[in-house]
A and B are shown apart, each in its own frame.
Chain A
Amino acid sequence: KAGVTQTPRYLIKTRGQQVTLSCSPISGHRSVSWYQQTPGQGLQFLFEYFSETQRNKGNFPGRFSGRQFSNSRSEMNVSTLELGDSALYLCASSLEQGSGNTIYFGEGSWLTVV
């Protein structure tokens, strides 16, 4: 089975711009979650989607948003980029929703805001 696929892998944006990141989960997985990884803060939960519905949202400002499509693919969007948004954005998928379901990470999208 193909793993979790994220695009683009690397990107550089300017402050004030917006960015869209894409994630294709493992085939058959219906839950997709997003995490931000930075050296200082570690892995921080952004949000989780299941069956096109956002089930959970972390403590991030409204500039961070996401969606899930009927084929379980997901996108996240960050508007009005700030320097502090520079990070590795990881997508993870799991078979089902609910506790105890292993999540599998993609390789991530490295975002640099200049």
Chain B
Amino acid sequence: GENVEQHPSTLSVQEGDSAVIKCTYSDSASNYFPWYKQELGKRPQLIIDIRSNVGEKKDQRIAVTLNKTAKHFSLHITETQPEDSAVYFCAASRGIGNTGNQFYFGTGTSLTVIP
């Protein structure tokens, strides 16, 4: 099955700096890669996603890049703010026919933005 690895497990940055979280996946058939943000005691919330036919996607201060050849994708947060502090999860998904909608998650990155 798919294996998603995520690094680093913890990340501390100064407010205003950039943060980068990287994930690798093993299944070349994976074709959808969302990122979720989970604040303490809350549900994981989708912040950005990318599909395998796209190399980069940006939404304000957040961007995701995908390298299908190397099987890795990254989350970039620019101009970080204290409210960006949370745990971030990457995920990979593939579906063939009616095999369903199973996601494989990375182990999470705890981001702390220091004011």
Binding site for B on A (CB under 8 A): 4, 31, 33, 35, 42-45, 48, 50, 55-56, 58, 90, 94, 96-108
Contact = CB atoms under 8 A, between A and B. Distances in A.
A79 B19 CA distance: 42
10 contacts: A35-B105, A43-B89, A45-B103, A58-B102, A98-B99, A98-B100, A100-B93, A102-B49, A103-B101, A107-B42
Contacts of A44: 105
Nearest to B43: A105
Interface residues of B, number: 30
Interface string B30-70: 11101010000011111001010000000000000000000
B108 A100 contact: no
Contacts of A105: 36, 43-45
Nearest to B46: A102
Contact of B101 (A90, A94, A108): A94
